[in-house]
Chains A and B, each alone.
Chain A
Amino acid sequence: MALLDVKHLTVDFNTDQGVVHAVRDISFSVGESEAVGIVGESGSGKSVTMYSVMGLLAANGGIREGSVVFGGKEITEKAYPSRKAYQAEMSKIRGNEMSMIFQDPMTFLNPVVRIGKQITEVIKNHNKVSDAQAKEQAVALMGQVGIPSPHERFGQYPHEFSGGMRQRIIIAMALANSPRLIIADEPTTALDVTIQAQVLDLIKDMKEKMNSSVIMITHDLGVVASLCDRIIIMYGGKIVEAGDAREIFYQPRHPYTMGLLKCVHNPEKKDKLTPIPGSPPDLLKPPAGCPFVDRCSQAMRICKLRMPEAETYSETHTCSCWLEEAGKRKGENHG
């Protein structure tokens, strides 16, 4: 059984301009000790998906439909007698069985509390340990994530750390209780490539050591290429394609995935960049059919009218695009 199973997740936000349909009926799962990448344009619904899983949606948003099952247990609010009961359960799970690494470490670190104290808090929240034991664990964790002289650094404040070191502290906190699932939301987007490489290696090492599952959210295909077993491509609040890493990179099926691969410069290949024209759909009034229709060079009349169903190509590979159906019909007509 999968560790995380998301089914028909649909998330809306109420805004002054109307309802934003941020995530529209998506289903996916993450296995034990599996690394899954979620890739997509900004605004495609990657973060909202994960905030829904973690129970951290903004107040104006909510899960309209669907279920999230984690370790065999339903963890959407509807399964709990009250909002309070739900929140109590989620705060037991978060930081313990499931933890999150954010893009900007400062959204998570308290600038006026010493780093060491922030790490020991996470440990003490979920474990019965003495102050001394918590400190010992925290210093060991700081060492593990590559903070030089962790003993001296323990008493320092966040502003005394560089961006890369702060991100490592966040990782240390995320790992403190050996979570079964680590959700990393663009953990390296704000970092330099050299520091990014260090942080990605760290996440990889830690995952292997603790056998955790990882969900890596990113817009950078390079980041998921070496880290992830499986990759999910999101566009306009929908999952448009999913497959194992080799299927996505070497046999992409969806025109958006193919387009995205042509937008990144692979120095090993020297191909010309072919941009995808246009820009993503407005989720205040998402298209009835395929979300990619306005930018797709192969769009047909049906694409605007109806959302294509997901076709299955292998145990891991699925794609939602009308081209498959069109191909079949052509075959019929000729044969």
Chain B
Amino acid sequence: MAEALLTVDHVKTYFDVTKGLFSKKQIVKAVDDVSFSIGEGETYGLVGESGCGKSTLGRTLVQIYPVTGGKIYYKGRDIDTLKKTDRKEFTREVQMIFQDPYASLNPRMTVGEIIKEPMEIHKILDTSQQREERAAELLKLVGLKPDHIRRYPHEFSGGQRQRISIARTLALNPRFIICDEPISALDVSIQAQIINLLKEIQSDLKISYLFVAHDLSMVNYISDRIGVMYLGHLVEEGTADQVYSSPLHPYTRALLSAVPIPDPDVAKARRKIHLEGELPTPLNPPAGCPFKGRCPSATEECGKVRPEMKDYGGHKVACFHAGPSH
């Protein structure tokens, strides 16, 4: 892989949720010791069940949450100690697109104002006229019409609003975009539109993506590499093909076997791995392997210490009983 654009090094994001002054300290370990890196123009997919820490990780990367431990490097520099001009560059180049295209657009602003606002804040282009032209250009780029510029968000469908938020993000000429479930609120036929749009933008502008989702088949489609999270930990990582076609971690296998396949003959023939139990909470998580309570292959060893991530030729897994030899 080319030099990493973003490196996440043993990052922890904890939340103190202790209620009263005299109650026992309660810590939610939403992200717990996660490391990975993303290259220039690469798409890294992040999957896992609800509450496993995907959004928290994304928000930590754009400094909405402070890191509790570990370091994040952007272009090789620690983002916590950036100098003024580097900091400006970082806040412009690293952007986030959210799940809910309804909530993330200001209903009182026109589409043009929405797209121009970040350009004004970051002093991109000199005159209002230039910004207006650029906004119209961006609308065309995301598949809307330049004359939509004077309309308001409520006049658009969900898919169109997601296009507007993508246009707003692109106004900053970002290098790295965190897409937090950008399609899960949309209809199937519209999801494919947005996914293909993101792919086109990437090949034209060489942007890197962190693509967060719980829809594994879409993640497989868009990603170069995939990381699987469970209870705050990264438990498996590899190329999209490695993770999808030869998953190593018992959790990844269960997750994959749960994806409904839109093909009746294949679906009927498929053997499902049943995961017992519910999602555990990251509030005082168990010792040992985070997955042990639901794991069909768990042994006594798994309850003692947490398995380290092992690297099998770029395909990494954190499990005592997984690996190509198992």
Chain A residues with CB under 8 Å of chain B are: 41-42, 148, 162-165, 192-198, 200-201, 219-223, 225-226, 245-246, 249, 259-268, 273-277, 279-280
Contact = CB atoms under 8 A, between A and B. Distances in A.
B126 interface: no
Nearest to A256: B189
A53 to B, nearest CB: 23
B201 to A, nearest CB: 15
Contact of B259 (A42, A222, A280): A222
Given A221-B188, A226-B267, A245-B264, A279 B258 contact: no
Interface stretch (B115-123, B191-199, B295-303): B191-199
A263 B191 CA distance: 8
Contact of B189 (A223, A246, A263): A263
A296 B152 CA distance: 27
Given A41-B187, A249-B262, A275-B193, 8 more contacts: A192-B279, A193-B258, A194-B275, A197-B274, A260-B188, A265-B221, A266-B217, A266-B261
Contacts of B274: 197-198, 201
Contacts of A267: 217, 220, 244, 259, 261
Interface of B: 49-50, 157, 159-160, 187-193, 195-196, 214-218, 220-221, 244, 254-255, 257-268, 272, 274-275, 277-279
A263 B192 CA distance: 5
Contacts of A263: 188-189, 191-192
Given A164-B278, A274-B192, A275-B193, A265 B263 contact: no
B220 A246 contact: no
A192 B214 contact: yes
B217 A194 contact: no
Contacts of B190: 275, 279
A15 B32 CA distance: 50
Contacts of A148: 277
Given A194-B275, A219-B187, A249 B264 contact: yes
A249 B254 CA distance: 25
Contacts of B268: 226
Question: Which 10 residue pairs spanning A and B have beta carbons closest together?
Answer: A222-B260, A275-B192, A226-B267, A197-B258, A275-B193, A263-B192, A221-B262, A276-B189, A273-B192, A192-B49
A164 B50 CA distance: 11
A190 B315 CA distance: 31
Contacts of B215: 193
A200 B303 CA distance: 31
A245 B187 CA distance: 21
B133 to A, nearest CB: 26
B292 to A, nearest CB: 16
A197 B159 CA distance: 27
A160 B277 CA distance: 15
B264 A226 contact: yes
Given A226-B260, A226-B267, A265 B217 contact: yes
Contact of B254 (A164, A194, A274, A276): A194
A195 to B, nearest CB: 8
Nearest to B217: A265
Contact of A194 (B195, B220, B255, B261): B255
B14 to A, nearest CB: 22
B50 A192 contact: yes
Given A193-B255, A264-B262, A279-B159, A42 B187 contact: yes
Contact of B260 (A163, A223, A259, A277): A223
B160 A279 contact: yes
Contacts of A219: 187-188
A165 B279 CA distance: 11
Contacts of A198: 274-275
Nearest to B191: A263
8 contacts: A164-B278, A219-B188, A263-B192, A264-B262, A268-B261, A273-B192, A274-B192, A279-B160
Question: Of B195, B215, B267, which is in contact with the most chain A CB atoms at under 10 Å from its CB?
Answer: B267
A222 B187 contact: no
B264 A264 contact: no
Contacts of A279: 157, 159-160, 190
Contacts of B266: 268
Contacts of A220: 188, 260
B263 A193 contact: no
Question: Of B50, B192, B264, B266, which is in contact with the most chain A CB atoms at under 10 Å from its CB?
Answer: B264
Contact of A222 (B196, B244, B257, B267): B267
A257 to B, nearest CB: 11
Contacts of B275: 194, 197-198
Contact of B278 (A162, A223, A261, A280): A162
A219 B265 CA distance: 19
A273 B188 CA distance: 11
B189 A266 contact: no
B196 A275 contact: yes
A162 B193 contact: no
Contacts of A264: 188, 192, 217, 262
Nearest to B158: A42
Contacts of A201: 272, 274
A266 B258 contact: no
Contacts of B244: 267
A259 B259 CA distance: 21
Given A265-B217, A267-B220, A41 B260 contact: no
A148 B278 CA distance: 10
A274 to B, nearest CB: 7
Contacts of A268: 261, 263, 266
A220 B191 CA distance: 12
B188 A225 contact: no
Contacts of B277: 148
A24 B52 CA distance: 43
Contacts of B218: 265
Contacts of A195: 49, 278-279
